[in-house]
Structure 1
Amino acid sequence: MTAKGVERRLSAILAADVVSFSRMTSLREEETLRLLNALRDELFDPRISKSCGRTIKLMGDGALCEFSSAVAAVKCAIDIQQVLSAQNNAVPDEEKIELRIGVNVGDVIVQGNDIYGHGVNVAARLESIAQPGEVLISEAVFQQVAGTEDLSFVDLGEQDLKNIPDPVRVYRVSLGQNSRSVHVDIRYLLSKPAIAVLPFTNMTGDPEQEYFSDGLTEDIITALSHWKEFPVIARSSSFTYKGKAVDVRQVSRDLGACYVLEESVRKAGERLRVTAELLDADTGHHVWADRLDRRIDDIFAVQDEIAQQIASIVEPARVMPEFRRRCALASE
């Protein structure tokens, strides 16, 4: 309990809603209500209970549920959507019911049997932007379930959700796929010039320096992600190229990136040399390149400094070509 008797806890929240319920009731009111009740009694409620969740409240054609585990919430959502999809394939169109589901993990305020707060609001907003039959999850949920077997995801990038102050990175769970992988939704990235930061090439000859190279890549991804105009491809996607010879045009096709940042690091005694190149992914041409030499007195301070240096230079280097590109398109 916190001050003034307000109880808080960390929960996984599942928000679900029936697609086009108002239209369905306007056409076949009693039959639609019967189908909705059957959905709850025969599918939704038993699956929620089986997954150790609880239904907080029913809101007409929607439901809000709470779980103590993000993995349980996501697997329950997948189970519901897959069973419902199979049922819909066996009935006439007028008897089909489709759900949108959103899952978030966050701090909630507990009041009686109800829960409130930002974590609940994000789950509801994720559900509202989902397509029929989809399960959308937040970055917070993705971090909890990314290593789970038999799950794969599509990175939708950062989304502006209604009445949520900061953008939320959103992933779509790929139903029926068991690859434990992350893909990128190219349709989202086509509207914004995305950048992929490839893993640093460790040229020190010292395998123990791999952690430094990987940490530097992660720091640069984090620094660049603060620039909202340009989506940054998720680490889990760009790191699939670690240790491979890469054609940046293939990266563009795979990840939907307009720009690719390649880097390498060398070590000589107590000094480091970091080389970075920003490439136009369509042509493979250089947009910018630089070399940074630093002492390795404090390896973490060096990581932070190099990441910030590269990020501060890369951002304007991306902005100007993109500005010229858009001006050219506008004049055509």
Structure 2
Amino acid sequence: MADERAKRRLAAIAVADVVGYSRMMEADEAGTLAALKERRKAILEPIVRDRGGRIVKLMGDGVLMEFTSAVNAVEAAVELQAKMAEANQSVTEHRRILLRIGINLGDVIGEGSDIYGDGVNVAARLEALAEPGGVCVSAKVHEELRGKGNAAFEDMGEVALKNIVRPVRVYRVETSTGQVGGRAATTSAARPSIAVLPFDNLSGDPSQQYLSDGITEDITTELSRFRNLTVAARHASFHLARMGINPMQAARDLGANYVIEGSVQKAGERIRITAQLIDARTGNHVWAERYDRECHDIFAVQDEVVAAIVTTLEGRMVAAAALQVRRRPTSSWTAYDFFLQGRELADANMEKEAVPLFSRATAIDPDFAHAHAWLAIALLGRYWFDTDPRTLHEASLAAQRAMELDSNDPTVHHANGMVMVWLREYERAGVHFDRAVALNPADAQIRADRANWLRYAGRPEEALASIDDALKRTPFPPHWFWVIRAKILLELRRYGEVVAALDNMPKKDHTAWLTLAAAHDHLGHAALAAHALAKARELRPSISSRELIAVNPYAHRDALKPLLDGLRNAGLPE
């Protein structure tokens, strides 16, 4: 006992952790390890040394640091986050290294060069509360800095920390670098942020996966309608879940302080849906429920789930308000089933196969607005390949019908905006896209297609800002986001950046290969241009300059010049 007392000391403990470490390692293990080593040598070690601290140990994706002064610890953390943000500006978004840092002032027990004890444990729990790029400190640290230094703090209130007996008052350090993928994060002190993970398919039939995915998407969409909730992008949630990352880590990677998970089991005309809301900071279950219903009651179940989540998180809201927000999409289970199957194919860029499923949904329920809107979107995807004016006319009719049925739905305006682009009615397209964004600000796909509208309308600088905004809203964007960005950069004649953007696509479609071929030609890379063009023609043998002119609805033909000139030099036929 006396020996242990002799080893005890008061210290300021800082714990830092890399956000999304598992995802980065899976994508590029060697590159991630090399980047972390370089940042440690160039940034971390000098800062800790200059502030009179020491690195106690490295812990895979984290680091434990000890300082003799709480002031020095906080100043080191703020400087570290600033230097990391500066270093991130020179790399592509998916390679950026973001840290969370927690700092506590308390007793530690020394054992050789290592330290342990409650002081360390609290620092580790505080790190888990910090937003990506942010710093959280305990009340002891906050009190120690009163009147010292320039740091400003935001009181997050008392928080129950896992395995810590008493609640700890937590403060967020105002650093200006708290970021999620390069954008300001929403803290738990402001409004709740939620990640909806894909519901598990318990039906024992893989072909039923579309049902659980569709229900997940619908719940995500409905929650996004509440302006006082921040909802993680659907693609990002699905990406992390399918990588096998556990829910708590997924929530942390997405910058969410709550996570929703559940399951769907369909047997005949009966369906069982379970859902639970988990506090990602503590791992505690906040709410859970199971619903056993007839299939035709599925929409009522979704309403109940959304209402329960909203009322649980926001006590001042009532379930009635949640139920009034959404319109029942259809009264037919069969129509909804066809709709979900079609949406799954459309999400996989298989629009041609999705068209008949959406058509069946609208035939069963002619008043199903969402099905008409998605039918229009899928028909536009088919038009890209067949360039048949009748296909475009069908898409226009479907979008118009959706608008007649529900003029206050973001997907309906999204579909109409896309149709107007292809009809070259750019002003009307802009009205619909702006309305779609206003109705659902969280939908990154709407923002990406809005960037396409700006590109075709002859506003490439604004288009670039729009697609970059969409990319910032999801850490795992669909690959076609990068194609849009590359095409915009090509029009701006920023050819090196075109190549860098398309490096984010592990599997390229023919449009990506064509864009890459043109960029390489302008850079003087003749062999690479020829290779990329050959890849494009493998995927679409009929491609020609004439076809590219037909399938790109530009307001000004000159915008196509960088693409056509590069491809013609590379050998594309007229």
Distance 2:150 2:115 in 1: 31
Deviation at 1:187, TM superposition (A): 5.3
The 1:28/1:159 distance shift into structure 2, 3 A limit, reads same
Answer yes or no: is the 8 Å Cα contact 1:104–1:119 preserved in 2: yes
Residue 163 of structure 1 aligns to a residue whose secondary structure is coil
User: Which residue of the partner structure matches residue 155 of structure 1?
Assistant: 155
Distance 1:117 1:66 in 2: 13
User: Which residue of the partner structure matches residue 480 of structure 2?
Assistant: none
User: Which residue of the partner structure matches residue 113 of structure 1?
Assistant: 113
Q: Which consecutive unaligned segments of at least 5 residues does structure 1 have?
A: 178-184, 192-324
Q: Runs ≥4 in structure 1, deviation > 6 angstroms?
A: 325-328
| 1:188 and 2:185 correspond | no
The superposition leaves residues 75-131 of structure 1 with CA deviations (integer Å, 9 ceiling, x where unpaired) of 000000011111112221133111110000000111111111000000011111211
User: Which residue of the partner structure matches residue 17 of structure 1?
Assistant: 17
Distance 1:172 1:118 in 2: 20
User: Which residue of the partner structure matches residue 141 of structure 1?
Assistant: 141
User: Which residue of the partner structure matches residue 102 of structure 1?
Assistant: 102
The 1:328/1:188 distance shift into structure 2, 3 A limit, reads closer
The 1:27/1:6 distance shift into structure 2, 3 A limit, reads same
Distance 1:5 1:187 in 2: 38
Distance 1:150 1:8 in 2: 30
The 1:99/1:186 distance shift into structure 2, 3 A limit, reads closer
For 1:75-90, what aligned pairs fall within 5 Å after superposition? 75-90=75-90
For 1:176-325, what aligned pairs fall within 5 Å after superposition? 176=176, 188=189
Letter in 1 for 2:138: S
Distance 1:5 1:155 in 2: 34
C-alpha RMSD of matched pairs (Å): 2.6
User: Which residue of the partner structure matches residue 73 of structure 2?
Assistant: 73
Letter in 1 for 2:128: S
Residue 87 of structure 2 aligns to a residue whose secondary structure is helix
More displaced stretch, 145-154 vs 69-78: 145-154
Distance 1:82 1:146 in 2: 22
User: Which residue of the partner structure matches residue 164 of structure 2?
Assistant: 164
Residue 175 of structure 2 aligns to a residue whose secondary structure is coil
User: Which residue of the partner structure matches residue 48 of structure 1?
Assistant: 48
Deviation at 1:165, TM superposition (A): 1.3
Distance 1:24 1:186 in 2: 24
The 1:9/1:95 distance shift into structure 2, 3 A limit, reads same
Distance 1:121 1:136 in 2: 14
Of Structure 1 and Structure 2, the greater strand share is in 1
The 1:102/1:90 distance shift into structure 2, 3 A limit, reads same
Answer yes or no: is the 8 Å Cα contact 2:67–2:73 preserved in 1: yes
Deviation at 1:148, TM superposition (A): 1.9
The superposition leaves residues 49-80 of structure 1 with CA deviations (integer Å, 9 ceiling, x where unpaired) of 11110011111111001000000000000000
Distance 1:188 1:138 in 2: 15
Letter in 2 for 1:118: D
Deviation at 1:146, TM superposition (A): 2.3
Deviation at 1:326, TM superposition (A): 6.2
Deviation at 1:186, TM superposition (A): 8.8
The 1:14/1:4 distance shift into structure 2, 3 A limit, reads closer
The 1:102/1:187 distance shift into structure 2, 3 A limit, reads closer
Distance 1:186 1:43 in 2: 26
Q: Which consecutive unaligned segments of at least 5 residues does structure 2 have?
A: 178-185, 193-313, 322-574
Distance 1:93 1:186 in 2: 21
The 1:6/1:130 distance shift into structure 2, 3 A limit, reads same
User: Which residue of the partner structure matches residue 62 of structure 1?
Assistant: 62
User: Which residue of the partner structure matches residue 38 of structure 1?
Assistant: 38
Task: Return the TM-score normalized by structure 1.
Answer: 0.54
Distance 1:331 1:123 in 2: 41
For 1:123-138, what aligned pairs fall within 5 Å after superposition? 123-138=123-138
Distance 2:102 2:72 in 1: 14
The 1:4/1:106 distance shift into structure 2, 3 A limit, reads closer
Count of residue pairs brought into register by the alignment: 192
Deviation at 1:174, TM superposition (A): 0.5
Distance 1:28 1:189 in 2: 34
Distance 1:61 1:326 in 2: 37
Letter in 1 for 2:112: G
Answer yes or no: is the 8 Å Cα contact 1:2–1:8 preserved in 2: no
Of Structure 1 and Structure 2, the greater helix share is in 2
Distance 1:120 1:70 in 2: 14
User: Which residue of the partner structure matches residue 174 of structure 1?
Assistant: 174
Distance 1:328 1:89 in 2: 41
Residue 156 of structure 2 aligns to a residue whose secondary structure is strand
Distance 1:186 1:49 in 2: 30
User: Which residue of the partner structure matches residue 284 of structure 1?
Assistant: none
Letter in 1 for 2:166: D
Distance 1:10 1:118 in 2: 11
Answer yes or no: is the 8 Å Cα contact 2:24–2:95 preserved in 1: no
Deviation at 1:149, TM superposition (A): 3.3
Deviation at 1:176, TM superposition (A): 4.5
The 1:4/1:127 distance shift into structure 2, 3 A limit, reads closer
Residue 126 of structure 2 aligns to a residue whose secondary structure is helix
Residue 188 of structure 1 aligns to a residue whose secondary structure is coil
Answer yes or no: is the 8 Å Cα contact 2:139–2:168 preserved in 1: yes
Residue 30 of structure 1 aligns to a residue whose secondary structure is helix
Distance 1:170 1:121 in 2: 14
Distance 2:6 2:118 in 1: 15
Residue 35 of structure 2 aligns to a residue whose secondary structure is helix
Answer yes or no: is the 8 Å Cα contact 1:6–1:110 preserved in 2: no
The superposition leaves residues 271-330 of structure 1 with CA deviations (integer Å, 9 ceiling, x where unpaired) of xxxxxxxxxxxxxxxxxxxxxxxxxxxxxxxxxxxxxxxxxxxxxxxxxxxxxx969946
Answer yes or no: is the 8 Å Cα contact 2:17–2:99 preserved in 1: yes
Letter in 2 for 1:76: A
The 1:54/1:167 distance shift into structure 2, 3 A limit, reads same
Distance 2:315 2:18 in 1: 40
Distance 2:144 2:111 in 1: 26
Distance 1:326 1:74 in 2: 35
Distance 1:15 1:161 in 2: 15
More displaced stretch, 167-176 vs 114-123: 167-176
The 1:4/1:170 distance shift into structure 2, 3 A limit, reads closer
Residue 189 of structure 2 aligns to a residue whose secondary structure is helix
